[in-house]
Each structure stands twice: as structure tokens, then as C-alpha cells.
Structure 1
Amino acid sequence: MAADPKAPSILGFPHCPEWGAAAHRKALAGHLRRCRDHAGIAPRQAGRFIHVSEATVSRMENGQAALKPADVERLLDAYAVRDPQERARITDLVQEAAKPEVWQPYANAAPLTLRPLLAMEPAARRIISYEPQLVPGWLQTEEYAEIVIRAVHPTRPAREIAERVALRTQRIEMLRRAASPPVLLAVMDSEVFRRQVGTPGVMYRQIRHLLALLEELRYQLYLQIAPLTVGAAGAIGHPVVHLRFFTPQYLPDMVYLEQYEGAVYREKPSESERYQAILNNLCGVATPAAQTSALLEDALAAWR
């Protein structure tokens, strides 16, 4: 029997272990939903095929529930997905989705509200970040990160603080990987370099660290400084992270909005596009990335 040319395909989503388990699970979950829709099968009926509730099917299709290989095979049979290439790719994705998340080695220190961002950022093609108060987490030194984390969690034990520092500082490694590393465009408010975190020595070493990273990661890291003259464009008031993925047809843009006691995520196209426009406007009025090293050298002199 000839393949249905209108049937959904997952072949455009590659098997890339470096992207992490969450990206594979999320892409596969959306694909299963499209396959079910194409087959004209209701969620409740799909649940009967694998002996689960309609709510469980919904969680599976949103990437919020584990995808058991046997259940996926039965659903593919029910949805008449017979193409060997499609099923082979799905098998690969199911296996990848079952692996530990990137934050799991630091599970005791990874805040619940941050885990979705940590899980998905390795799969990003481009990350835009705005930080109005501090050096972005990816770019912090260990001593700077420890002071910031301890200020927010003054009663936490030293071991947990150390784990949180390790989790934060290892995130830069995704920019160093050989296979499809993300590009990070980080925008910081100019006041970040005037706000003393720790001693003057801590600030001096943090700024030297930024200069070293710009030299090392010159094709993966772009840093812009937003002076006070940007006015309302920089008055966002809280950190914002916008993720765009290599395969937008399978993984829609994600926006992370940090709050003092938590975070909010936005994935609807209308919402992610709005924040993309806000960040684009900010990048347009901030000092160009080509001038950042000179600005950092000036900031460094102030902390000698």
C-alpha cells in the first residue's frame, strides 16, 4: 500500500542526543497528537488502545507524561503509521526521551520552576536573554553565582548552595559543544556593572570572565549592554529568555519570564512573538555587540 502523502512525518526531527531528553519527548508528543488527528481518533478512544485515561493521553501529547515503547507501538498501529522509516525514527526518539534530563544530576538543587528551561535550552538554535539586575546565569563565575544564590536562599545549607552553583555554571558548556551549539545573545543593563556583588575583587574577576568568554566563544556568544538612555525599552523589570529551536515545526518558541518566587512560561505563538518583538527592540537600541569588549574594559578599570 502506498504511503499517505498527507500523513504527518517525524523524519524532519533528527535524533540528536545533545539536545536532551525533553526536546525529543516534546517533539514526539506533538507528532503523536498529529497522527491521532490525522487518523480521526478521539483521545478517549486512543486511551482505550493502551488502557489509560483520556487525561493521560492528553499529558502524553503535551510531553508531560512518559512515553512507554509498547504504548507508542500500539498507538502507531492504531493510527495506521506503517512506514518503516517513520517507525524507526520514532523508536529512536522514544529511547532518547527516556534518558535522564540534563538537570537530574542536580535534582536536589534545580528549582521546579527552572527545570523546563534547563531541559529545553540545549535544543535551542538561538537564545536571547535580557537581565536587568545581574550577570546572566550562564555567564557567572562560581564566586559571583554563590553570592547571588546565597542572597536569595540565606538559610539553605552550604552543600545545596554548592550544587546550585555547579548547576548554574555548567550551563555554559552547551555553547562549547562540537555538535550544533546554541547561539546566546545576552543583553544586560549597564547598571549590572555598578551593582557590587561581593567584593570589588569578585566584580573584577567576573568582568574578566566575560571578556574571556567573548574571546573564546566569539561565534556562539554575543553580549550587548543596555545603557539607561534606552529608556522604556529597558524597563522590562525582570529577566526574560526567548528560545528558538532548530526544528520550529516540531518545537515552538519558548519564553521564560523569571519572577522572584517562580517563573512563567509562554509558548503560544502570539505570546512568544510579542516577547520576540520586545527583545528585538531592546537589542536595536542597546550598544552594539562589537563595542561590548571596550565597555567591559572600562567597567573593569572601575573595579581595580
Structure 2
Amino acid sequence: MTSTATPARTLSTPTGPLVPRLLLGTRLRELRRQAGLSRPAAARAVGMTEATLGRLERGRTGCDPAGLAALAALYGVRDEAERVTLEALAEQTNIPGWWEEHLDVLPKWARRYVSAEQTAKLVRTFEPQLVPDLLQTPDYAREILRLRHPRATPAELERRVAVVMARQRVLRRRPRPVNLWIVLDESVLLRQVGGRLVIRDQLEHLLDLDARPNVTLQIATFEAGAATAMTGGSLTLVRFPQQILPDLVYLERFDGASYPSRPDEVERHWHVFNTLVTEAQQPEATPHIIRRLLRGL
């Protein structure tokens, strides 16, 4: 069998298990199909439930060494490089991300996205309500988190703020920071979160970030078209460095999130975002818009 797997030495991922799980699941699904086996038949043959094998192939869970060995034997994996790569991926599915020390202050529904964000090649976001987490100042983040978690102790609140700030390291990641493109509804800039001083500091921070070569910021003014109303809330698209992995769609709402994954759903959300880009003000207009708002504060 000819190996098409990624060499194991390129798969080091200190940022969590999501990408190794996706890569492992994608490759195991390809091997099963090459072996001419249906998912139910493969699951029965190795003593798994079809649901368990489905979660494995979708990157929702890792695989223990015994299960991996059984699948590799069933699929006729004889190539040594292929076997080593599968084993390396399986091992990495258990490497925790840095945020796993803070799971008590990170919503369960957001963990998959945070893991994706930390390994992303690019992130595209439309936000109609608030400044996105990756662009927030500590004071702005603190005000939002205080409203979302009114019963949080001061110490817990600061831990939540610290997690948001830690996530922003992807913007300064070396050697390749994430490529971030964000479209903000104009109302986001007008909303007085935390009062005049907090919003002034936040707007100045947006100016600084907009000057970064890996950050593009557009403003969808009130004259923009209907696309701003099509999302029903925030929309985030994530693309991974590994081209074989599908893009991730993340739709966050006040108390939960969804991850549409069918190819047609992913394509539709990319179409919505691209429409937003064309309807929003051009990126070069962003500094002028923000400075105009700052003069009014």
C-alpha cells in the first residue's frame, strides 16, 4: 500500500488534541473506504459500536493503541511509515491544550472552537454585537464576562479574563501568527461597554491591531446590505494548515454554539462571509471610521 500520510515529525501540536484527532479520523476513514468496508462492518469486525467508530472518524475522540492496531490490521496497513504516523497521531490525541487547566471557566460548547482557533491558519469572523474575544482589551473583556457570569467571584472573573487574553497569543504566534479577518457591525463600535474610558481604550486597541499585517478589520456600516442580518448572530470560520482537513464553522450564541459541518453548510457560510466583505467598508476605511468615533468620545 502506498503511504500518503503526513510524516510524523511534522505533527507536533502543543495546542491540543483537535487537529491530531481530525487527521487521524480522516486517514482512518480513507483507509476503511480503500479496504471496501462500510462503517458498520468495520465497527463489528473490531468490536466497536458504529457510533464509536463514527466519532473517531469525525475527530470527536481519540483512539487507544489496541483499537488502532485492530483497525490498521483490518484495513491491511503494511506500510511502516503509515503505521508510525497513525501511532504518532493517536498518541497526540491525548496531549492536552493549555486551556484544559481552565475547563471550569471555559464553556463546554466553546472548547472545540478554542482548540481549533489555537491551531488555525486563518480565522474569519463576523460579529454583530460585541468586539470578538481575540480583539478585546482586558477591561472590555472583564465587563462582558461580568455580565455573562454575575455570580462569579473576583478571582474567577480574573481567571476568565486571563483565558481570553491567553487566546490572543495566536495573533503574535511565531513563526506564523494566525491570519485574522474580522467584519464588525458598526453598532459594535457605538455600544458603550463599561463606559467612556473602557470603550476609548478598546477603540484605540482596535487601531493598533488593525495595523498588524496579519489582521484585517472591516466595518459594516448601517448602509450595508442585508447580509449583516443573515447570520442571526456571530459567524466564525476556521481553516487549518493541513489542507486535507475541512474548514470549521462556529456559530456562537449567548448560551451555546453550533458547528455546522456538512460541505454544503460550510460553503453557504463562506458565501455569507464573502458577501459581508463586499458589503462592508473597505479595510483602508477602518482607521478613519474608528478615529472619527474617538473624536466624539
TM more than 0.5: yes
Q: Which amino acid aligns with 1:33?
A: R
For residues 86-105 of structure 1, give each alpha carbon's deviation from its aligned partner in whole angstroms, at most 9, with x where no partner exists.
22222222222210034312
Structure 2's unaligned 5+ residue stretches are: none
- Looking at structure 1, the residues matched to 54 and 129 of structure 2 have their Cα atoms a distance apart, in angstroms, of 39
Q: What is the match of residue 73 of structure 1?
A: 69
- Looking at structure 1, the residues matched to 243 and 164 of structure 2 have their Cα atoms a distance apart, in angstroms, of 26
- Looking at structure 1, the residues matched to 182 and 128 of structure 2 have their Cα atoms a distance apart, in angstroms, of 11
Aligned-residue CA RMSD in angstroms?
A: 2.1
- Looking at structure 1, the residues matched to 126 and 171 of structure 2 have their Cα atoms a distance apart, in angstroms, of 18
**Identity among equivalent pairs (%):** 34
| SS of equivalent residue, structure 1 residue 127 | strand
Q: What is the match of residue 94 of structure 1?
A: 90
1:229 Cα deviation after fit: 0.2
Q: Does 1:220 align with 2:182?
A: no
| SS of equivalent residue, structure 1 residue 230 | coil
- Looking at structure 2, the residues matched to 256 and 192 of structure 1 have their Cα atoms a distance apart, in angstroms, of 19
Q: Is the 8 A contact 1:24 1:96 kept in 2?
A: yes
1:21 Cα deviation after fit: 1.5
Q: Summarize the alignment of residues 110-259 of structure 1 with structure 2, pairs less than 5 Å apart.
A: 110-215=106-211, 218-235=212-229, 236-249=231-244, 251-259=245-253
- Looking at structure 1, the residues matched to 185 and 234 of structure 2 have their Cα atoms a distance apart, in angstroms, of 11
Q: Does 1:281 align with 2:275?
A: yes
| SS of equivalent residue, structure 1 residue 207 | helix
- Looking at structure 1, the residues matched to 80 and 64 of structure 2 have their Cα atoms a distance apart, in angstroms, of 19
For residues 167-189 of structure 1, give each alpha carbon's deviation from its aligned partner in whole angstroms, at most 9, with x where no partner exists.
22221111211133321101111
Aligned residues: 295
- Looking at structure 1, the residues matched to 155 and 238 of structure 2 have their Cα atoms a distance apart, in angstroms, of 31
Q: Is the 8 A contact 1:125 1:246 kept in 2?
A: yes
- Looking at structure 2, the residues matched to 179 and 73 of structure 1 have their Cα atoms a distance apart, in angstroms, of 35
Q: Which amino acid aligns with 1:158?
A: P
- Looking at structure 2, the residues matched to 18 and 178 of structure 1 have their Cα atoms a distance apart, in angstroms, of 13
1:198 Cα deviation after fit: 0.7
Q: What is the match of residue 31 of structure 1?
A: 27
- Looking at structure 2, the residues matched to 300 and 15 of structure 1 have their Cα atoms a distance apart, in angstroms, of 45
1:196 Cα deviation after fit: 0.2
Range with greater deviation from structure 2 (254-263 or 84-93): 84-93
Runs of 4+ in structure 1 deviating by more than 6 angstroms, as ranges, are none
- Looking at structure 1, the residues matched to 261 and 136 of structure 2 have their Cα atoms a distance apart, in angstroms, of 27
Structure 1's unaligned 5+ residue stretches are: none
Q: Which amino acid aligns with 2:243?
A: P
Q: Is the 8 A contact 1:124 1:243 kept in 2?
A: yes
For residues 275-304 of structure 1, give each alpha carbon's deviation from its aligned partner in whole angstroms, at most 9, with x where no partner exists.
11111011112111122122222222222x
Q: Is the 8 A contact 2:15 2:98 kept in 1?
A: no
1:70 Cα deviation after fit: 3.1
Range with greater deviation from structure 2 (177-186 or 35-44): 35-44
1:242 Cα deviation after fit: 1.0
Task: State the TM-score, normalizing by the size of structure 1.
Answer: 0.89
- Looking at structure 1, the residues matched to 260 and 98 of structure 2 have their Cα atoms a distance apart, in angstroms, of 21
- Looking at structure 1, the residues matched to 163 and 216 of structure 2 have their Cα atoms a distance apart, in angstroms, of 22
